[in-house]
Amino acid sequence: MNSGAKRWLLLAIVVAFVTSCFSASFNRYYLGVAIDVGISTIMAVSLNLINGHTGQFSLGHAGFMAVGGFTAARLTLTLSSSAPPDSAQGIALFVVAMLFGGLTAAITGLAVGLPSLRLRGDYLAIVTLGFGEIIRVVFQTSETFGAATGLTGIPKQTTLFWAMSVAAVTVYVVACLVNSTYGRGFIAVHDDEVAASAMGISPTRYKVTAFVIGAFFAGVAGALYAHHKQVLKPDGFDFMKSIDYVVMVILGGMGRTAGVIIAAVLLTVLPEFLRGFAEYRMIIYSLLIIALMLLRPQGLFAFQKKSQTRS
């Protein structure tokens, strides 16, 4: 892929920009769904680095999204409270808030991942599960973050451009990392930690790296989400939300970026369109997942075995 990758990223951002220029004429509802799709893609592709490529099992991705969302929104609200910024300042502040959200999530990821990733097996699943719940309670009780009501009145800054561009950057980063000599280490750790270690690859280092990068993008996705929905409630980031992303990664076929993007799009769009059948929605949704599971068992049960073709 080499420099072709950079060209691809540039193209994706240009497309996002051009599309965004016409977004005023779009149906507002569909526009909202399109932004949701971008955010889901960021979440699923970044989780795929951890759960797919590196073979770990994190159940706390929504927790990192919450950390990024709340800290970014808090920053925006605090800095724009005295005097509302003009539009250029607003955008600059938004970019800073996204990076800030990503960084706080990454630091949290380091704090959670470092002790638990040293251990083998399912410790990470248990620890991240607990982390997701704890972080929710922390936000629920913290006055700084609006306690149970959460944060409201967050300026609407997330446009289709930002959602698509950040999604493109996430795909670029994950794909470029994995598709390099360095990145073969993630998959080596996924396949066999003992052998990886004997080849000079530090499993802990790779696992923590994947985890921190994954958490960073989840944090940025949280910031996008906060400045999209304009309200942020701790309840919204429960265990089920983490499971949504885990399902996207599994359905997409652990470690296959293209598949995971498709799963993220489908599982974000379909529930929206099934909203009309509200009472049947969950049934249809479950049947769909079952059908997908049956049609793509290799996507579902690919924890250990997987073909070598990856992108």
Of the pair 89, 180, the CB lying nearest other proteins is at 180
Q: For residues 284 and 297, give the distance between their C-alpha atoms in angstroms, rounded to a whole number.
A: 19
87 binds other proteins (CB under 8 A): no
Nearest approach, Cβ of residue 179 and other proteins (Å):
8
Among 11, 195, 283, 291, binds other proteins (CB under 8 A): 195
6 binds other proteins (CB under 8 A): yes
Is residue 151 classed as helix, strand or coil in its secondary structure? strand
Q: Are 303 and 54 in contact (CB under 8 A)?
A: no
DSSP letter, residue 153: -
Mask of contacts with other proteins, 238-277, x by CB under 8 A? -----------------x----------------------
Among 182, 277, 280, 301, binds other proteins (CB under 8 A): 182
307 binds other proteins (CB under 8 A): yes
Q: Could you tell me which of 201, 216, 179, 180 has the C-alpha nearest to residue 50?
A: 216
Could you tell me how many residues make up the chain? 311
Among 12, 31, 77, 177, binds other proteins (CB under 8 A): 177
Among 12, 77, 138, 201, binds other proteins (CB under 8 A): 201
Q: For residues 217 and 65, give the distance between their C-alpha atoms in angstroms, rounded to a whole number.
A: 8
Q: Are 218 and 51 in contact (CB under 8 A)?
A: no
191 binds other proteins (CB under 8 A): yes
Q: Are 261 and 252 in contact (CB under 8 A)?
A: yes
176 binds other proteins (CB under 8 A): yes
Rg from Cα positions in the chain: 19
Residues that bind other proteins (CB under 8 A): 1-3, 5-6, 173, 176-177, 179-185, 187-188, 190-192, 194-203, 209, 255, 304-308, 310
